[in-house]
Amino acid sequence: MFSLTGKTVLLTGASKGIGAETAKMLLGMGANLIAHYGGDRAGVEAVLAGVDPARALALQADFSKPEDVRQLWEQAVAWKGRVDVLVNNAAIFLNAGGIEEDEAEWDEVWDKTMQVNVRAPADLMRNAVHHYKTNGGGIIVTVVSWNAQRGSSSPKTIAYAASKGAIKAATQTIARTYADQNILAFIIAPGVVKTRMSEESALVLGGVEKLTADLAMKEWVPPEEIGSLIGFLATGACRHMTGGTIDVNGATYVR
């Protein structure tokens, strides 16, 4: 029913987890896909295996390096001459640098987390807004976390929670400021998704079994559900949802 045929999408963090499932969804909907990856070249190649090279381009960029982020956007636009949708999915989760850790570790974790999880996607959004203003509009979808809404359950991951809250606010600011220029920006806030990052997070919270027992549905969110939601938002079929945050957590956290 919904199609992205003829649309070009830049998806960050496409090599695994939510990103990999989203890449498959976007390609299945007919999009031309720029699949960004950080270091997992094999992962993104597996996702794009068998796809017509005219419809898929893998680009590497280290989000800890601002110059890589700028180059990523330039290469993305150069591929088809425009980008219609930016999906900010890439992020890091560092189970370190918390309240009780030493100052050197605190500083290192905060600096790296803010660069990768906030500054890099914010730079991409800034470039996207300028691009969209001269091309009749466009769409941004930012994947955050329920930590952006309620904070983290662990003092060890305070930087991660803060980063997700920050990029959520940045995306909302773009939505509010540019809605009248056909620039739409949506936020998705997943709960516990069945990904490697969530498995690492579970270690902080007492293990997989304990974390699962605390969930209302007693199961983790399948990453393909997030991919389906991103695909729908990328179509622009629900324009007046711009600025909204969609919770996907199986009713464990209801606002």
Q: Is 178 a catalytic residue?
A: no
- How wide is the angle at C-alpha 112 spanned by C-alphas 120 and 164, nearest 5°? 60
Phi, psi of 52 (to 5 degrees): -55, 120
What are residue 21's DSSP bridge partners?
Answer: none
How far apart are the C-alpha atoms of 167 and 142, rounded to whole Å? 8
Beta strand 138-143 with 56-60: parallel, antiparallel or unpaired? unpaired
How far apart are the C-alpha atoms of 128 and 134, rounded to whole Å? 10
- The sign of the torsion formed by the CA atoms of 232, 233, 234, 239 equals positive
Across the chain, which distance is largest between two alpha carbons, in Å?
A: 53
Q: What is the pLDDT along the chain (255 residues), one digit of tens a residue?
A: 799 999 999 999 999 999 999 999 999 999 999 999 999 999 999 999 999 999 999 999 999 999 999 999 999 999 999 999 999 999 999 989 999 999 999 999 999 999 999 999 999 999 999 999 999 999 999 999 999 999 998 899 999 999 999 999 999 999 999 999 999 999 999 999 988 777 777 766 677 888 899 999 999 999 999 999 999 999 999 999 999 999 999 999 998
The catalytic position among 132, 160, 178, 253 is 160
The token duo for 101 is: 């850790």
pLDDT score for 204 = 66
- pTM, two decimals, is 0.95
